Every structure is written in C-alpha cells, then in structure tokens.
Structure 1
Amino acid sequence: MRRLYFLLLMFMIFNAVIFPQQDKVVAKIGNQTITLDEFRKRYQLTPQYERSGQYTEEAAIMKFMYSIIAEKLWALEAENLGMDTSSLMQNTFKALEKMHVRDGLFRSEIESKVSYNENDLMTGLQRMRTDLKLLFLFSFDEDEINSLYSKLAGGAKFDSLLATRSEVQFQEEPLIIEFGKLDEDIENMLYSLKQGEFSKPVKETEGWLIYFVKERVDKYITADEQQKLLSKVKTTIKTRRTDAEYQKFYRSFFSGKRVETDGLIFWSLVEKVRNILQTKKDSGLVLKNNEAKLRPDDLLAIEKEFGPDTLAMPFIKFPDQPLTLKEFLAYFFFEGFFSDQVTTEIIAAKLNARIKGMIEQELIAREGMKRGIQNLPEVKEDIQRWRDNYLYQLMIQSLMDSVIVTDKEITEFYQKASEDTISSLRVNLLEILTDSLEVVEKALNHITDEKSFREFASNHTKRLWTRGRGGELGLTPVSSLGELGRIARDMNIGDVYGPVKLDEGYSIIRLIEKRDESLALNSLEEESAGLKESLTAQKYDNMLIDKTVSLARKYGVTVDEQVLINSGIKNLQMVVFRYMGFGGRITAVPLTPRFIEWVDPWREKQKELP
C-alpha cells in the first residue's frame, strides 16, 4: 500500500513541476481546442522514441500534433454517429471512466486532507540525520515477553539477557533503522529512546519484541544533501498521512456493507476460465514466468459459451443496480487475468479475490458519481482525453472491418501485375512485443544498437517464435504488417520506433532491411490470398487518409505551428505511469499512434478553397 501511495504522490509532484499552467490555444478541431498545456502533457509523456539521423524535436512535435488532431477528428465523427453511446463503447470504456471518478474522489476525500507543518519537517529532517542501531528480544508468548521486560526494569543487562536466547544468532550486527523505514508509531517510540534505553513490549505480526538502542549515529550532511533529504522527508510524511487518511476512509466507508454474487454463475465462470488457461498451457502459450493469460478474444469465447440470457443475469447483487455478468466480464478483462497454476481451487481463489476488489471499487465509484466527482473540471478533462482515444480506436477498427476486396478486383490487379511491373515493398524488422509497460521502459533504457536490441528481444518479446532470432520477423510485405508496416514504410535502415499500441500489446521495432522488389507472380489461384491482403491494406490506407482529410474539412482544423515550434518543449523519452487513487494504473496519457499521411493531401485541398 505504501509503495502505491509513494508512486501516486511522485506522479502528482512530477506533474506539478513539469507542467506549468499554460492555456494558450495552439489548435482548434471543430468545437474542440488543444491548449499548449494539454499538448505539452501529451507530448512529453508519450515516448517519441524514433532513433534516426533525421530526427529533430521540431519535426517530432509537428508529427505528434497532427496525430492528435486526427484522433480528435475521428472522435468527433464517432460522437456524430452516436458511437459514444454504443454498447461496445460502454462495455470497453466504462471501467476506465470509473477509475477516473475514483481517482477524483481520492483527491477530494483523502489527498485534500493531507497536511504537515514546519515542525513535522524539522522532526523528520533530524531523524533523517540520525540512524539507530538496535538489538531486540523476541517471543511468541506475551507472558514470556512481559517477564523479560520485568527483568530489564529490575536492572538486568540487555546484552546478558540476549546472550541466553536463540534470537542472538540473528544479531551478529545490530539492525540499522533509518527514518521512514518503519511504521510511524513504532518509529516515534524508537526515536524517543536514548542510547542504552529499551522499549516496552511491542506486538508485531510475528510475535512480541523489546527493542534496545545500542547506538545513535549522527550523520554529517552537506548543504547539497540537505535539500535532497528535505524532499525525501516531505515525500515520507505525505505518504504516511495519505495512508492514514485512506485507512480511516476505508474503515468508515465499508463498515456494514455486504454484497453477494450468484454462486452458480461464479463456478461456471471458474470452469470456463480454467479450461481456457489450461488449453493455453498445454499449447505452450504462456508468459516467460509460465503464466497463462486471458486475452480479449477469450472474452468473446466466454460470452459465447454463456449466451445472451445468462450474460444479462445479475451476477454481483448490489442492493441498487446489480451488475450483470456481461458488465462484470468487461471489467474483468479490462484489468487482465493470469495464473501460473490452473487448478479449479487456485482459479476460484483468484477470481474470488478479483470480485471482492471489483465490488469495493464499484462501491467507491458509485459514491464518487453520487457526489458529482465526474463533473469536476480536471476529472472531465481526463475522461474526455481517454474517451477521444477510445472512440478513435473504435472508428479505425470499424473502418478496417468495412474494407471489402472483391474477386473481380483481385483478378484485375493480377492482370495488371502480369502486364506491367508492379513492385512490393518488403521490410525486415526486429521487434520487442510485450504486455508490460515496465518492459517497454526497460527496453527504451537498454537498447543502443542492433546487438542490444536482439539481446533484449531474445529475453522479453512475447512472440515466442522470434526469440531464438533476436526478435527478427523476416522479410515481410508491409501490407502484411498492419500498423507496423505503415510505420516501417517511412523508416530508414537502423531506425528504431515505438512503443506502438497493438491489439497484442506494445511493440518497439528496428528496421534492419528494406527491399522494393518486383512481383514475380504464379497462377492467380496461388497468388489470390497474397493479392487480397495487399489490396486490403492499400484500400484501408487510402480510405483512412481520404476520410481523415474529409473530416478535417468537415469540422475545420487550425494549428498555430509557430507557437509550437517556439515552445521549447522537449520529449522526456520515458514511459510515465499514473497510479490512480483507490487502485489502478494507466499510462500518464493515452498512447496515440503516429498518423500524418493525411496532412499533405489536406493542405492541397485547402489551397482549392476560394
């Protein structure tokens, strides 16, 4: 718990330091605007990891701006088409929206109550300068520890008593205690002791302890170190006070609350999850630590097995507005689920723990909604930012699904290829594909050249068939690589790009080979599948560009490029997480894919306007 609050507070401090207030509008898209502050936040916290000799900050800024504009254009169109209220959007986005509401409630109900004064800082700083060297007596039995305390109070020497006991073997060197490393109440008690004094018996989880201060060590602190220590003291105090307010809220809010689930549905779900994970393990489809993980396509399989009637049944029986099985599954897959053991007992225990956590988070989210947290300006901004990103993804997927290539088109393309010389761009990529943003961060810090990229991919990429080849995908038509192919088309050999958010996870790629080769065709029957793939990719790319240009003209786009260029903004080249109040973790901002191919055609169209 303390670790979570520390990271949450670090993000808040970080956010306040690097994002000074800026409200200058740098772009307008329909009725929406992008301020310099919004752009700065999005740009600095989205790794612009594009190692090449042609990389410049100015070019990266403009590419990113027009990619965000494309995202917002498609989101506006999605709203116009009513996709923002569709069941698909509700199922996929609702969990994230509730997470932001809980975070807003956390700031309102807990963070706002955290305070400290100058005396707290001075006390912490003094303790930071002093280490305590401790010895201890230990017993499982309260009567025995009280007897030892009576002997010490009667004048017995601590060292003499310790020498007669088994715990002496663990104390060849005294324990060294620093400020912030123990529970605050115990720390207060220990730092109140003088050298040579002992504590009253203290109840710990393992048993009973009596502490003895063997030595107080004052450390010399330089003027430069003083400021660093003061910052650590502030962080420690904030973390402790936040934890205390959280515990107070938790005990008060959940007191007397009880929510049950449908037992029959629960055990049916356990069996379905177990069967899927067992199949994955039997097929070798496991993570590096031998864990089998549920993926989005597994959700569809589970929903199909249950059927629409069961999916609509109440599963978590809140007194007001019970959650259906379908609603729970949307949350369940949003959070992710994996296990290294797939016995019925283990899956049931993990699923039960997940449901308990979900019930708690749902109750907190409902409390936040009741208080109107979702209407606070900062919460609305966060929700809107992620909502636009989700709508963009849904629209792009819808566009991809709408692409149809007929047999007639394949035949005509084949005939043209037979008569003329038609080339096919093929690329060879090294790839690191992972579900973990921590692995992405390690990769960005680790890889410096092709050798280090291959080494990292061999240990971390989730495409098991490429591990033995250092993540190498082999020469592949760009049309077969989807989003990666679209990006690789404009890369030079040696360039690195990423992370790219794919359905399978996060991808970082390095281009090691690129060939523009003439197609050597076999019979139409043999070439049909490959030609259909190429034509589908071409159609999708053209439709995506043309539609984005059309949307830009429909809603209107203006950009103050000069302000952006002169802003002095620099990318942080790092992955930053946002740890949400009451649990949950996301990237600090949505990861928007680069898409700038629409910009030049749009500018040409703009010239045609009177």
Structure 2
Amino acid sequence: MKRTLIISVALSLLSIFLLAQKTAPPLSTDTLARVGNSVITGRDLIERIELMPWEGKENPYQHDSSKIKALNSLVAERLLAIEGKHLNIGSDQQTELKIRSMEKMFVRDELFKREVKQKVTVSEPEMRDGLAKFAWQLHIAAIAVKSRSDGDSLLRMLNKNISLAKIITDIRPTFITAVETVQVNFGGLDTLFENEVYAIGKRKFSKPFVSSTYGWTVALIIDRGTNPVYEKMNSGDRRIRVDETIRMRKENIVARRFFAKIMSPQKAKTDSVLFFALAKQLRAIIVQDSTRHLNKGIFGVKSEDVDHLTILFGSDLQKVFVELNDRPLSFGEAIEAMRNLRIGFPSLDENSFVRAFNYHLRTIIESELMSREGYRQNLHYSEAVQRDVQSWSNYWISRYLLWRVNDSVTVSNDELLEGLRSSLSGIGNAYEVNVQEVLCDSLSTAMSVWDEYSRGTSLSDLVKRYSKRSEWKDDGGISKFIPLSKDPEITLRAFLADTGTIVGPVKICEGYSLFKVLGKRAIGAANMPPADSIQINIKNNLLGQKQARSTSAYVAYLAKYYTIDVRHKKLMQITIQPANMYTRRMIGFGGVITATPMLYPNWEWMKEFRETEKQLP
C-alpha cells in the first residue's frame, strides 16, 4: 500500500534579499544590434559583462575591443537561440522543466518587488535615528537570566552600583545562565537586542528585555567608541548604508506577514515512495564525491546533481509528487526547484539526511506556492519576468545547439599526425619509441608480409626474410628506443598507436614500412607528462581549433540567413567598469542564481561574415 507523507506548510523564518521574417520594429536609440526580429540594447550588453567576468574588462585600454567582442558574442548567442528554437532544441522534458522552473523563480522575485519592496519606505526620522546608531560601536556584556523577575533582581543590584564581577564571583545568583561579551554595530541580525543596547544612551545598563539570541537579557555597556566603518565613509555613503539596513529589516517584516497570509490556508500531501527514492538517490550522488560537495561544513546540492536526478528519474518526472490545494506539484518540478534554492545537508548520515531533506521539501513547496500567487497576479506577463526568462532561455538553447555543432566535429588520424609534426620541435627530443619493423621495397611485398603475419608467422622471421633496413636487422628489426625527431614518419605513427599494435604499411622514402609498437617513454625529466597525455593534449587542441572554425562558419551562415544589423560605433557610448566580478542575485521569497548568464566568448565569426559580405555582388 502506498504510504502518504503529510507536510503542513508552515511559516518559515525567511531572510529575503534582492540584488540586486515580418517587418522589424523600429530601433530605439540605445539599440546596438538587430538580430532577425529581435534587438540587443546597451542595457543587454552592460548587464552581461558588468555583472560577470569578461575578457579585457579589467584593462581600460582594452575596453573598446572588449566591448566589440562582447557584442559579437551576444549577437552569436541570439542567432544560435533563434535557430535552436526552429530546430525544437529545448523542447525536451528536462529543458522545459529547467526553463519553467526559472520562470517560476522570476515570478516569485517580481512578487517580492511588488508586495514587499514597493511597500517599504524609510522616513527622515528613521534615517536620523539610524545614522545616530551607525556612528557608534558598543562593547556589551549580555547577561542572560531565567525570567523577567530575575532580570529585575539583577537590575536592582546594578542600580546599587554593585559591579558585575562582584555579582558573578561573590553573590553568584543562580538565575544568571550566561554572560557573553559582544560587539554591537548598527545592522546586526538581532534587531531587538541592538535597539535595546543603543537605547541605553548614557546609562550603563538596560532594563530586562527578550532577545532572540539570549532570551531574557540585561545588557551592560563595557565600552563605547566611534564605529570605524562609519568614520571611513562620506555622508552620502552613510545614508545609503543606513537606508539599505532599515529597508532590509522592514522588508523582512512585510515579507513574513505576506508569506504567512499566503501559507496559512495551505496543506500539502507528499508521495512518500517518491520522497524516499529521491532522498536515497540524492544522498548517493553526494556521497560519491562528498569532498566536492562540502563547503563550510555543509554538503550542498549542485546544478549538475539536478541534471543527474532528472535523467535518473526520467520516466517519473510527470508523476504527482505533492498534492496541493489547487493543482499538484509534479516530481520533475520538485527536482528542478532544487537547482536555485539553497539545499544543503550538515550530515550524510542516512536518517539525518532524510530529516534535512524533509525540511528542504517544505521549502520547495513554499517556493512553489509563492510562485503560484505570482502567476495568479499575472506577473509572468510582466516585462521584467519576460526579459529575464528570455535571456536565460536564449542562453540555454544557444549552448545546447553549440554543443550539438561541436559534437559533430572530429579529429582524424591524419590531422592528429599533422598536429604532431607541427609540435615536433617541442617534443621531438623529449619522447622516444621502440618498434620492430619490416621495411619492404614495394607495397605488394608489404601486403604479403602482412598476410603471413596474419597467418601466424613471427615478425622476427619476416624481418630476416624481407626487411631492407640493415641497421636494425641484426636486432630482429628492433629499433631500440629512438627519439621522435629521428625517422618521424615511423616514430610519430608509433607514438600515436597503442603499444603492441601493428602499424602499416606506411609509405616512407626508403619503401614501405610495417612495424609493431614495442614501447614509448619520456626522456630525462621525471615530471614530463606520459606519452598518452601529450597525444590527448594535441588532439584536444586540434579539436578545439576545428570546433572554433566550425562554430564561426555556422554563426556566419546564420547571420546571413536571419540578417543582422550590428552597430559597433554605438559602443563608444557604452562605459564599463574595469573590474571582473562574479555576481549572485538573491531572489525574493528564497532562491539564488547568477546575476546574468555567463556570456560565451564567440566573436571570431564576424571576420568570416564580413568576408562573405565583401564577396556579394
């Protein structure tokens, strides 16, 4: 019988932050390019290279070329996305789940902006109060007591000028449960504690109050000094810092109230069979490479883990996982939601893991319900959501198409051999090979030798009867170890082949060579990479070069097919900051994502496109 796991969707304490071929439409003044029927604006370009790393951005002298490369790359991404959609790339179940989940996240974020951020203001009296607190840094003794009456008893002792040291060492009241020395600055996590200690003013101690950190507390000022952060700021920056702090605190209050309003009538019923299957597989993935998943004592879920899970549970993704008031949450939707929520586990113990995952499932359900409220308000039609979804879907679809193009590119043995020849000056005297060769005077003789060898005749006998290479004949045709620079037509082919294999017949200047690879080795330095690693590196370099040429040719073709209008001169109006950074965007009502998709470097196609344009009559 299928069991059912009941989850009551309760109010969670949230820390919520936000970073921060028809006739084409007329171009706006900041339009940098038209790609088919879509446009790329200055804002599009700035966001992609300001918030994420980009080559040359850190050097102001390279800004002009850096902006050109970025714009060309953005045009390439848009072309690939348009073509990818025509090829139905991104219509598979996993990609549709990914893009849909991203839309839900942006809808939730837009809901936060409208229901929380837009309803919060900071008054001038609040600003003055915040600036007054921000100016001071306090060193406090936080004295935790059992109850309000115990706090009053402690307060009476302090009012009689009995020192805290004497109270603790001599009087030793049993109602004091803890004493901690803390540094307090404006903007800390325990707002109530902060308000109470700043309210002490010129007095030395507070009245008893309830702190979220210590419970019933009496605060005693040890020292009061100027806040060093405050001192380093100008007046404008101080106001910005105080405004941000007050807004964040008020936003959290408004958000909790709105969150409670949406969550209060909700109930969720989860399929326990799918729940335990998912928990088991997720734990197995993390355990398999726990070191890579561990960060600051927490085993976190990575994006590629979600990809792995969607493949593992491919046939179950459409199943009902959580029954909700209006419509169910599918198994695939729940898995995909983990990509951009902070899912982590302090322990990989099986029972602890399941308990933690049950908590995270509640977060997934809560996020889903907040997104549904956003859809109910039609926020998925808002310009901000549409723009974010379009940006990310273009990124994913273009990448998938590019991977498909690159996967069709291969490196032949002849190309690899040519690559080795071009590298001979660097590796010719660094590696040696050992072969056993039969050198024949004609191709027909070489083929006869191959036939006899295939029927079981030993290579040593064939060397005695047929080989024309006198310097190796006395050793049974064995070359002993010789550097790649010697007889490269043989040595390079031997370097490419697996040890023990037969190579040939190969046409060389002396005739036709048929040889067996006996061994390969690096010469001298013990830190030289193995021969196989050199082959792999050269092959990967050649593959990368071929893929780059293939990509450039393909994008240039798409640029001609869909038509483009790129306005490089307008880049002179665009200013970028000379700092590379990796920016994360915190999502309202929970979630985190990179601020924008990483722009893939893809600008070389423009040269080929311009060449073809010149050739047109």
What's 2:550 paired with? 543
1:599 aligns with 2:571: no
Change (3 A) 1:158 1:256: farther
- What residue in structure 1 maps to residue 371 of structure 2? 365
Distance 1:156 1:333 in 2: 59
Q: Is 1:248 the equivalent of 2:220?
A: no
Q: What's the counterpart of residue 377 of structure 1?
A: 383
Q: Which of these residues, 48, 60, 64, is aligned with residue 58 of structure 1? A: 64
Letter in 1 for 2:65: A
Counterpart of 2:357 in structure 1 is 351
Shift of 1:387: 1.7
Structure 1 gaps of 5+ residues are 13-21, 429-473, 476-516
Task: Pick the aligned partner of 1:522 from 494, 518, 528.
Answer: 494
Counterpart position of 2:520? none
Report what 1:42 is aligned to: 48
Q: Distance in 2 between matches of 1:168 and 1:337?
A: 38
Asked if structure 2 preserves the Cα contact closer than 8 Å seen for 1:314 and 1:324, the reply is yes
Q: Within 2, Cα distance between the matches of 1:413 and 1:232?
A: 60
Tell me, what secondary structure is at the counterpart of 1:78?
A: helix
Q: RMSD in angstroms over aligned alpha carbons?
A: 4.3
2:67 is paired with a residue whose SS is helix
| CA–CA separation in structure 1 for the residues paired with 2:112 and 2:372 | 13
Match of 1:211 among 186, 200, 219: 219
C-alpha change, 1:411 and 1:569, in structure 2 (3 Å) is: closer
Moved more, 178-187 or 67-76: 178-187
**Whole-Å separation in 2 of the counterparts to 1:130 and 1:296:** 43
Alignment match, 2:402 = 396
Matched, 1:94 2:66: no
- 1:192-228 Cα distance to aligned partner (Å, 9 max, x none): 4453375442123443123356777688987974333
Q: Secondary structure at the match of 2:39?
A: strand
Q: Encode CA deviations 1:503-541: one digit per residue, 9 max, x unaligned.
A: xxxxxxxxxxxxxx9992228864999698777656544
**Which residue identity is paired with 2:163?**
D
**Aligned counterpart for 2:392 among listed residues 381, 386, 396:** 386
Are the counterparts in 1 of residues 127 and 243 from structure 2 also a CA contact under 8 Å?
A: yes
> What is the Cα deviation at residue 379 of structure 1?
2.4
Residue 127 of structure 1 and its aligned partner are, at CA, apart by: 2.7
User: Which has the higher Rg, Structure 1 or Structure 2?
Assistant: 2
Query: Aligned equivalents of 2:311 and 2:596: distance in 1?
Result: 33
- For residues 293 and 195 of structure 2, the distance between their equivalents in structure 1, rounded to whole angstroms, comes to 47
Q: Deviations over 1:29-71 (max 9, x none)?
A: 1111112232222222232245999971111111111011100
- Structure 2 distance, partners of 1:180, 1:213, is 18
- Which residue of the partner structure matches residue 111 of structure 1? 117
Alignment partner of 2:163 out of 156, 159, 162: 159
Alpha-carbon separation, structure 2, partners of 1:210 and 1:594: 59
584 and 162 in structure 1: CA distance in 2 versus 1, 3 angstrom threshold? same
Deviations 1:171-205 (A, max 9, x none): 79x75544333644454444444533754421234
Counterpart selection for 1:260 from 269, 274, 288: 269
Q: CA deviation at 1:602?
A: 0.4
TM-score (norm 2): 0.69
- How many residues align structurally? 499
Provide the residue aligned with 2:283 in structure 1. 274
Secondary structure at the counterpart of residue 261 of structure 1? strand
Structure 2, gaps ≥5 residues long? 1-11, 21-27, 432-487, 504-534
Q: Does 1:124 align with 2:120?
A: no
| Amino acid corresponding to residue 275 of structure 1 in structure 2 | A
Deviation at 1:252, TM superposition (A): 1.7
Measure how far apart 1:107 and its partner are: 0.5
SS at match of 2:281: helix
Deviation of 1:397 (Å)? 2.0
The answer (yes or no) to whether the contact 2:15–2:252 under 8 Å persists in 1 is no
- C-alpha distance in 2, partners of 1:144/1:171? 14
Give SS of 1:520's match.
helix
Question: Match for residue 529 of structure 2?
Answer: none
Query: Is the 1:137–1:210 Cα contact (8 Å) retained in structure 2?
Result: yes
Query: What is the Cα deviation at residue 362 of structure 1?
Result: 0.7
TM (normalized to structure 1)? 0.70
Paired letter, 1:242: E
In the alignment, the residues of structure 2 paired with residue 214 and residue 525 of structure 1 have an alpha-carbon distance, to the nearest angstrom, of 77
